[in-house]
Structure formats: C-alpha cells, structure tokens
Amino acid sequence: MHSELLRRRTFGIVSHPDAGKTTLTEKLLLFGGAIQIAGAVKAKKASRHATSDFMEIEKQRGISVATSVMGFEYRDTKINLLDTPGHKDFCEDTYRTLTAVDSVIMVIDAAKGVEAQTYKLLEVCQMRRTPVMTFMNKMDRETREPIELLDEVEEKLGMTVCPMSWPIGSGKLFKGVYNLYDNTLILFKAHHNLKNLEDVIAVKDLQDPVLDRVLGELQANQLREDVALVKGVYPAFDLDAYLSGRVTPVFFGSALNNFGVKELLDFFIQKAPSPLPRETTAGMVDPKDPAFSGFIFKIHANIDPRHRDRVAFLRICSGMFDRQKKVHHVRLKRDMKIANPTAFMAQDKEIVDTAYPGDIIGIHDTGNFKIGDTLSSGESFYFKGIPSFSPEIFRVCVNTNPLKLKQLQKGLEQLCEEGVAQLFTTVLDQRRIVGVVGALQFEVIQYRLEHEYGAQCRFDALNFAKACWLESSDFQTLEAFVKDRKSQMATDKEGRYVYLAETRWSLEREIRENPKISFLSTSESHA
C-alpha cells in the first residue's frame, strides 16, 4: 500500500482558454502510451469549437465523463490528470476539481502572459497552497520577453518564480532551451510524435565554444548574458518552497511541437507530491492510514433522456478501496456497497476492484450523493476545504408555469445540490436568485428543469458581479451592514448572509471601509 501511495501523482492543468492545455494533455498522454484517449480529448475540443449550442456539448458528454479523469502510467508512476473545463464549460466544477488534486501544472501562452482565467484558478490554488509548476508554452511563436513573463507571474499570482530552463530566442529565432541545472543545451526541432524527440547537447560550461558553433555567436553571447542575470536574480530550486506553493519552477517549451514536455513530465514525477494528509472535522487524515476514506468532489449528470444517469466522482484520501467491502456514507449514516465503481484509465473506463489514495473512482449515482460527502470505513467526519465558490453571474428565476411551482422549487434545489449552480434568497423580497460561475449553466438548468422536472422558468438578468459570504466576530457591525444594504443582501441555502456586489470596484470599496467584516469568496459547510 505504501509503495502504491508513493507512486501516485494526482494533478490538474490550469490555464486560460487557448493557452495549450488540450495540446499539453495529449502530449502527456502520448508519453503515458494512452494514444486512444488523445483522440477523444481532441474530439471534445472540436465539438466545443464547432458549435455554441450546449446540447452539442452535451452530446459529447460520454467523452467528457471519460476525460474528466485521465489515468496513465509513466516510468512506474501512476498519474491521475483531472480535467479542469475552461472554455464555454467553465463552471464551479472547474474550481472544485482543484480541491481534489495534490498539485497543478499551469500553462501560459508566452505571447500573452497571465490571463484572466489563470488568475482566477490560481487564486484557488494559492488559497490551498497547492504546489504549482509552470509551462511557458508556444515558444515557437513570437513571445514576450521571458523576464517580463516571469515578473508578471510574480506580480499577478504572488509566487516566486524559479526558471529551470532558459529559452534561446523565440518564434523564427527559437533555438531551444538551456537547462540551468544540468548544463545541457536542448535544441529545438518541430516534432509532433515521440521519435527522436530532442537534440540534447552536453555543455561543459557557458564558455564552451560548442555554444557559438550551434547557436551562432550572437545568440550564444546573449544566452551567456541572460544566464548570468537569471542566476543572480532568481533563487535556486527549493523543494520545500515549491511544495508549500510559494515557489513555482518554470519550464519553457512548445506543447504543439512536443518540445520541453518530457523535461516537464520527468521533473513532475520526481518532485510533485504524492497524496498528502488532509484536514477533516476529526483532525488530519493521513493517506497511509489503513482505514478507507474519500470525498465526492463532482457530480456529472447525463441529460440525454435515454441515459439519464449520474456519476459521482470520489477522490480517495486514505486506505485502500475494496469493491467487495461496504463503505459508510457519513451524511446518510448508512453502509452501502458500491456496485460498479469505475476507474478512469486513459484507454477506457473499467470496473475497479481496488484503488488507492490519490485515485479517483466514478460511482453510478441514483441521487445518494452531494458534493462534499464523505465515504469512510465507518468513521464519521467531513473533509475540510471543499467549499462553495463565489458565483459571478446572477439571474432571477421566474416561474412561467404556475401549475408547476413545486416541481420548479424541487428541481432548483436538487440541481444546486448537484453543484450545477447556487441558490440565494434576497433579504428584501425573498426572490430566488441563481448564481453560477459560467453562463452555460443557465441553459443547462433551464433544459433540465423542463425535461427532468416538467417545470418551466425564465431567467432575468441581474446586475451583480460577485457574491461574498460575510463573517464578523462583531455581530452588531454585521447586522448594521446588512440593514444598510438590504437591496444587495441575500442568504444562501444554509441561511448565511451573502453580499451581492454590483462591481468589483464597489466590493473593494466595501472591503476597505468595513475592516471588521470579512468578505469571503468561498463558503464551507464543514469548516
């Protein structure tokens, strides 16, 4: 069990759309020998580009369940790559997936730098002190200056950067990278397959004339200057600082050309953490603990009426999962057998008999699970750190079929439990507000309400940009704040106060002017 634990790496890729996440995923899967699924990843992406209609995306759901978790083996390491949807399908699931990983790889388009979605996802990583490796992608194109890119990561994302390699030129002049740790020069060649990957040249030191020979005098001298500067400015790689999320090692490459990907992957399996202890309401749970435990971080509902099934995704945190043994569902206070647990190996979904911490299994669900549920071997506790994330798009739900009010209420509540959206009630007039992270969710909700619950509704736009949960040790201050801003106050499903900010700017002003109140962008039931 201990060796199974140590050889597992469970991670996600965070990036802004079009930075190269899908391309990098495919190359990683190629290294893992998982050729077939690479096609599936592309197919999913193709459907996303081909149409803006969510039903078309839904048609691909079979694929998207399969690519939600991609397990593969590489050099005796079991790697679980969790998908973080980022295009039109960006939603709270994307954030929540980050609660189930042990580390992330951040992909940045080197021509663009840190973009909005990367920033949002990194906020969640920082909150959890998740270790981050950075891949500066698309070096085969004209890019921004490497130093400028690194500065931007430090400034915008609040991490210290530690370049592991240094690029030589970019675009048409891109010659390759110089590995700052083992003094090798890796020459760039455009490659789409795994054969003859890179030309690696060992260099004695930076004065080695081989540099002038292969790079030309101009670029060789530039490299000498750059490396001297970089070594003076950036700290040497410090494993503990990386593991605590303070420092991010940075690689430069081109996913499309399979350049720099192998270096990244080799470094990743050596340095990225295996499953770590996790905090629960009953103290820390160690992955080495023989007692089985795990939590549900995502529920995927298939809306095709012919296959209206749900899959609950369980992240195993300790002990061994054994299909033959019953598990304890903490919230429902009962033991249950999991009939057909599936593992997500890259080639296919398959029934799993045993699984270990770090692994994700899919459980066929008929409505027993909610996000954040714990399964254990008998103990009663909840995992901390699986919060609701603050929505950014809000609409009022208006019932358009008075005969189906009950169905609408039930449907909305159940869909929110599944994690599709969050439901708030305004303090002033008790209106039901639905908040989501990605706009596509409204179409999904409307469709599902109609087809699964027979209810019809309309969503009217609201002018709010962010919801924040309010907390204060000073009860009177909090009550006074709520009273003064009644038109912007709502309560969540558990009756907690939520402030609906009209703009990010007005939120910042309120934060400044109300130092006794905490404005939280996440809320936890089991804090």
Minimum CB distance to ligand G4P, residue 111 (Å): 9
| Between 83 and 418, CB nearer to ligand G4P | 83
| Between 25 and 179, CB nearer to ligand G4P | 25
Minimum CB distance to ligand G4P, residue 46 (Å): 8
Minimum CB distance to ligand G4P, residue 415 (Å): 27
Closest by Cα among 467, 464, 461 to 503: 464
Q: Pick left, alpha or beta for residue 434 (phi over 0 → left; psi -120 to 50 → alpha; otherwise beta).
A: beta
Minimum CB distance to ligand G4P, residue 140 (Å): 5
| Between 21 and 370, CB nearer to ligand G4P | 21
Minimum CB distance to ligand G4P, residue 448 (Å): 26
Q: 């020069």: which residue's tokens? A: 185
| 89-92 own/partner pairs: CB under 8 Å, 24+ apart | 89/48, 89/57, 89/64, 89/438, 89/440, 90/117, 90/437, 90/438, 90/440, 91/420, 91/436, 91/437, 91/438, 91/440, 91/441, 92/388, 92/389, 92/391, 92/419, 92/421, 92/422, 92/436, 92/437
Minimum CB distance to ligand G4P, residue 192 (Å): 10
Minimum CB distance to ligand G4P, residue 86 (Å): 6
Residue ranges in contact with ligand G4P by CB under 6 A: 15, 17-23, 45, 137-138, 140-141, 254-257
| Between 89 and 226, CB nearer to ligand G4P | 89
| Between 22 and 67, CB nearer to ligand G4P | 22
Nearest 5°: the CA angle 83, 87, 93 is: 45
What's the length of the chain?
Answer: 527
Closest by Cα among 235, 253, 246 to 126: 246
Minimum CB distance to ligand G4P, residue 303 (Å): 24
Q: Which residues are 454's β-sheet partners?
A: none
Q: Residue 85 and residue 131: Cα distance in Å, rounded?
A: 20
| Between 141 and 156, CB nearer to ligand G4P | 141
- Give me 298's structure tokens: 């995502």
- What is residue 199's three-state secondary structure? strand
Q: Which class for 346: exposed (0-12), middle (13-18), buried (19 or more C-beta within 10 A)? A: buried
| Between 253 and 372, CB nearer to ligand G4P | 253
- What is residue 131's three-state secondary structure? coil
| Between 109 and 359, CB nearer to ligand G4P | 109
